[in-house]
Structure 1
Amino acid sequence: MNKHTDSFYAHSVPNMPDYPQLQDNIECDVCVVGAGFSGLSSALHLAEKGFKVVVLESAKVGFGATGRNGGQIVNSYSRDVDVIESRYDQNQAKALCDMIFEGGDIIRGLIDKYDINCDYKQGGLFTALNSKQLKGLEEHKKNWERYGNDQLTLLDAGEVEQAVGTKVYTGGLLDMRGGHIHPLKLALGEAAAFTSLGGQVFEQSAVVSIDKGINPVVKTAQGSVKSKYVVLAGNAYLGGLAPNISNKAIPCGTQVVATQPLSDEQLKQVLTSDYCVEDCNYLLDYFRLTADKRLLFGGGVVYGARDPENIEALIRPKMEKVFPQLKGIKIDYTWTGNFLLTYSRMPQFGSFADNIYYLQGYSGHGVTCTHLAGKLLAETLTGHAERFDAFAALKHYSFPGGRHFQIPFTAMGAAYYNLRDKLAI
């Protein structure tokens, strides 16, 4: 049986619900493969529109990146307005940029509508480590304001120190349309909302094959689902189920730790603002406080999704550089999780065989964009595909180096940009 990784998130959810294993041959309108945010958002939005939906999950709801990430509601995509407007034609760029804040709005809407208790806190802070990055944040603010975000404030070094409790940053950009959540609680709340509308979730029900056709049949070891449409939402955990799309992206791992709960004295020195924070480096660090006042700190990327032998040894030096006042603090939880990286760093949405859709490749910006993806998928199946097609029209490039060398080539590129960050060039 596939259980949740040994993370803070899994340990902090008492009475984790269990959904049944598929052991029958059933029929529905839409079969969704994967109970992460992409699949749950798709299922919930479709159920709200009256579709009969079945979700198949190989492990547990929120097992993958959905239940392991930093819990930050970060707007936009892994490539932002400046890159999008320079890379794509004017109409497509505008269509993509018009949606950059919608994912966060969807999350807040679902929390309110279904009364989901997921420890939501408002406010996200991007921090600069040098003057070049600070100038980039100034441009970032102007770009986001052009697309309607009027909740942005530039902070100087002193204001960042007051909010975060560290002297390492030269400034920052506060986004009050950002924030943070307990991602596993959010996923479980969305699954509960979906089933309350008549949807079905089956755990421990890995898909072994899909028979294509007018009514595709999705098969598991002990059952099958016949449907009008299939949605592949497994992301980095899709495996070899659809090699025609999985060969267009590579799985990567990121590492996270959670300290013991901070004392009242420590809380006076660390993140008094209770914002979530991420820095502007290519290989960025990110952190926030949990509801029980632990510091949750993540960073780094392992290309190819290998699990490091000693996560604490990788993360502790980063954490203590930002917060020397926490030197030696006990770390209670360490874990890693996989996300799917695309060459363009833009998400990959599309379809094949006319009735099989896929949503993948958020490249580290999955919390918000997955929720947008599910809404767009539901729009598409109700005859309004324009916004989905803005993403589907993006080209899906393979990584250079082929099957054997794409991971080392990508790691070399990341090392180059990491060196540029350190040299501030």
Structure 2
Amino acid sequence: MNLRETAMVQHSWYEASVQREPDDPPMQGSIEADVCVIGAGYSGLSAALELRQRGFSVVVLEAERVGWGASGRNGGQVLVGFAKDEPVVRQLGAADARRAWDISVDGVHLLHQRVAQYDIPCDLVKGYLHVATSTRKADDLDDWAASLQKDFGYHAIRAIPRAEVPGWISSPRYVGAAHDALSGHVHPLKYCLGLARAARAAGVQIHAHSRVKRIERGANPVVHTDQGQVRCRFVVAAGNAWLGDLLPKVTARIMPVRSFIVATEPLPESLVAHLIRHRCAVCDTNFMIDYFRFSADNRMLFGGRISNGKADPQALIPQMQHRLGEVFEPLARARIEYAWGGFVDVSMNRAPDFGRVDENFYYLQGFSGHGVALTGIAGQMVADAIAGQASRFDLFSRLKHFPYPGGAAMHGTWLRLGVWYHQLREMV
């Protein structure tokens, strides 16, 4: 782990609030397995768990330790759907877009099922609020909620009448809202560690501190680390923003974008109940989003402020506290006790990017901020595909993706242009 990434994770409330088991041992020597999975986050662990249930032997290689990347640092929002619905509908057509949407809903149900089946204590709460900061955006939000009901048959969401919005969220910033009764939030690291325990119990071999250096492709791939190798029949690349140069043509289609979260001191229960009804997770509909929720111990977890530069979470605390105070004036002076960040793997069209580089080499990436639930069902789909039932996986692999022009050197430029463009649109 380099110094910049140490700064991104070392002041995480998620890490401070869990008791980790000792790290899995590094990969050493030569191992044979049916499947080698790269990455011990949600998608990799989900694929490994599902593959074991289908009778495959599985080895998971993790460069750091379980849940070190986005799976252990994200906002914890458990969401149906995708970061952007339009490219899914446009490319797949109405009927197959409805199938894809239903699969995303299945992803939320799968998370709920796993929490119960494997007894994962991850502070699961149902209820999600989409909120709008202007009348125009509130109208758009109402239309979107109506279209989900009409076009996708998703009736867990409803637009909240404008006069009732203050009863759901006590902030003058928001003039419109929609409530999703199925989506919600979890403690993301607790959930990831629970998946890892379930995978180990099922017979999955997990090796931490085992960064993959190269992959020999072919009928029988060989995956190499510094200290060993895995000989296998199938490979699943589930490293998202951390695959580096292993699959350059694939990873060129995502931009790693940094997002930041702060956690306040524990707050009075009466204030928590007053600010957000039913402890829902909340996200606004702006391009530069604010997303937030209360933790089980009554901390406000407040996220936003995207970057792909060298920003230090500690240096951003004043900005984040100012934004928090703009949303909830009573929290303007709440003490910030933790600040951390991580990468979101954003595809150009913000649709998920699942596919194959060979018939026996699969990848999962491009969750674009909707990964807590979608990663789980993606892992199940890739396991089905390896087992010979590829219809759901192939549905998503039809989505076309293109590399960001100019490669990684231009990521900062594209991000700034995107921010400026959407800020101008939001001023209109």
Q: TM-score range by the shorter chain?
A: over 0.9
- Corresponding letter in the other structure for 1:361: G
Could you tell me which residue of structure 1 aligns to residue 293 of structure 2? 288
The question of 1:89 aligning with 2:93 is answered yes
* Segment of structure 1 superposing worse, 10-19 or 313-322: 10-19
Matches within 5 A, 1:246-395: 246-303=251-308, 307=312, 310-395=315-400
Q: Quick one: structure 1 residues 90 and 161, their matched pair in 2 at CA, closer, same or farther if it must change by over 3 Å?
A: closer
* 1:58-69 correspondence to structure 2 within 5 Å: 58-69=63-74
Residues 252, 305 of structure 1: 8 Å contact kept: no
Question: How many angstroms apart in 1 are the aligned matches of 2:170 and 2:17?
Answer: 26
Shift of 1:394: 1.6
Cα gap change, 1:40/1:137 in structure 2, threshold over 3 Å: closer, same or farther?
same
Change (3 A) 1:136 1:224: same
User: Equivalent residue of 2:130, what SS?
Assistant: strand
Letter in 2 for 1:130: S
Of 12-21 and 382-391, more deviation after overlay is shown by 12-21
Aligned to 1:241: 246
Alpha carbons 2:24, 2:207 under 8 Å: kept:
yes
**Aligned AA (1:43):** A
1:83 CA displacement:
4.5
Q: 1:272: how far off? A: 4.1
Deviations 1:198-218 (A, max 9, x none): 111111111111111211111
The Cα shift of 1:419 comes to: 2.8
Q: For 1:391 and 1:199, how far apart are their aligned partners in 2?
A: 26
Q: Which amino acid aligns with 2:110?
A: I
Structure 2 matches for 1:105-184, cutoff 5 A? 105-145=109-149, 146-184=151-189
Looking at structure 2, the residues matched to 162 and 74 of structure 1 have their Cα atoms a distance apart, in angstroms, of 22
* Distance in structure 1 (CA, Å) of the matches to 2:163 and 2:250: 47
Please tell me the residue identity of whatever aligns with 1:195.
R
**2:45 maps to 1:7:** no
Contact residue 261 and residue 303 of structure 2 kept, 8 A: yes
Q: How far is the alpha carbon of 1:295 from its aligned partner?
A: 0.3
Specify the alignment match of 2:75 in structure 1: 70
Contact kept, 8 Å, 1:277 with 1:288, in 2: the verdict is yes
Per-residue CA shift, 1:220-276, capped at 9, x if unaligned?
111111111011010111111111211121111001000000024433432242010
Q: CA deviation at 1:297?
A: 0.2
Contact 2:67 2:192 in 1 (8 A): yes
Letter in 1 for 2:379: G
For structure 2, the 5+ residue unaligned runs are none
1:196 aligns with 2:189: no
The farther-off stretch of 3-12 and 271-280 is: 3-12
Distance 1:194 1:236, change over 3 A: same
Deviation at residue 387 of structure 1 after TM alignment: 1.2
Q: Give structure 1 stretches of 5+ with no counterpart.
A: none
* C-alpha deviation, 1:180, in angstroms: 0.5
* Residues 272 and 294 in structure 2, CA contact (< 8 A), matched pair in contact too: no
Aligned twin of 2:58: 53
Structure 1 residues 306 and 361: alpha-carbon distance in aligned structure 2, compared to 1, 3 A threshold? farther
Candidates 40, 44, 48, aligned match of 2:49 = 44
Matched, 1:101 2:101: no
In 1, the alpha carbon distance for the partners of 2:387 and 2:269 equals 52
State whether residues 253 and 305 of structure 1, in contact with CA within 8 Å, keep that contact through their aligned partners in structure 2.
Answer: no
1:400 positional shift = 3.1
Give distance in 1, aligned partners of 2:21 and 2:134: 44
The 8 Å contact of residues 87 and 351 in structure 2, kept in 1 or not, is answered as: no
Q: Do 1:311 and 1:335's aligned partners in 2 also have CA atoms closer than 8 Å?
A: no
Partners of 1:159 and 1:61 in 2: CA distance: 42
Q: CA deviation at 1:85?
A: 2.3
Contact kept in structure 1, 2:60 and 2:207, CA below 8 Å: yes
What is the alpha-carbon distance in structure 1 between the residues aligned to residue 159 and residue 310 of structure 2? 35
Cα 1:412–1:308 shift into 2, 3 Å: farther
Q: Partner of 1:60: helix, strand, or coil?
A: coil
CA gap of 1:17–1:142, structure 2 versus 1, over 3 A, is farther
Contact residue 288 and residue 306 of structure 2 kept, 8 A: yes
Q: Which region of structure 1 is more displaced relative to structure 2, 133-142 or 282-291?
A: 133-142
- Which amino acid letter does the alignment assign opposite residue 258 of structure 2? G
1:79-112 alpha-carbon deviations (Å, 9 max, x no partner): 12x4432344345434323323121111111111
- Identical amino acids, percent of aligned pairs: 38
Question: Is the contact made by 2:37 and 2:236 (CA closer than 8 Å) also made in structure 1?
Answer: yes
Give the distance between the partners of 1:354 and 1:15, measured in 2 at CA: 37
SS at match of 1:40: helix
- Aligned pair count? 422
Looking at structure 2, the residues matched to 92 and 159 of structure 1 have their Cα atoms a distance apart, in angstroms, of 35
2:261/2:304 contact within 8 Å kept: yes
- Which amino acid counterpart does residue 240 of structure 1 have in structure 2? D
Q: 1:157 touches 1:169 (CA, 8 Å); kept in 2?
A: no
Q: Distance in 1 between matches of 2:414 and 2:369?
A: 19
